[in-house]
Amino acid sequence: MHYHAPSSCPVCGQTLDVTRLRCRHCASEITGQFSPCRFCLLEDKQLQFVETFLRCRGSIKEVEKALGVSYPTVRNMLENTLGLLGLSDKGGSAAARHEEKQDILNRLSRGELSAEEAIASLDKIKQA
């Protein structure tokens, strides 16, 4: 049995980095610092909504029937999921800003950015 990997730290709530990958077939392992994909950051509830939405070919009426909820509820679920995926056209989501901040901090830790460059980049995100 395989479990869905957690995407956030159970202690502080920040995004977890993937640090090791293993091939089931040949047992090769790769270590490093990898960011989880956008969909990996979704909780089971949001993933179920995305799967239902896709199965219904994007028809909100069909999603209403499949989930047994109202049109406004489906719209709210869609907007929430788009926001979590950083796809909302409402000025950038918190999830997208968090991912961008994490990328800056990762680049700083690898020496790809100076402290001053990292601070300037983080300030730009804060102002957006």
Contact assessment for residue 46 and residue 82, using Cβ atoms and an 8 Å cutoff: no
Tell me the per-residue pLDDT of 41-87, one tens digit each, with 9 for 90 and over: 788 888 999 999 999 999 889 999 999 988 888 888 898 888 888 78
Label residue 127 by pLDDT band (50, 70, 90): low
Backbone region of residue 46 per phi and psi (left: phi > 0; alpha: psi in -120 to 50; beta: other values) = alpha
Q: Confidence class of residue 25 from pLDDT cuts 50, 70 and 90?
A: very high
d(C-alpha 122, C-alpha 73), whole Å = 35
pTM of the model: 0.53
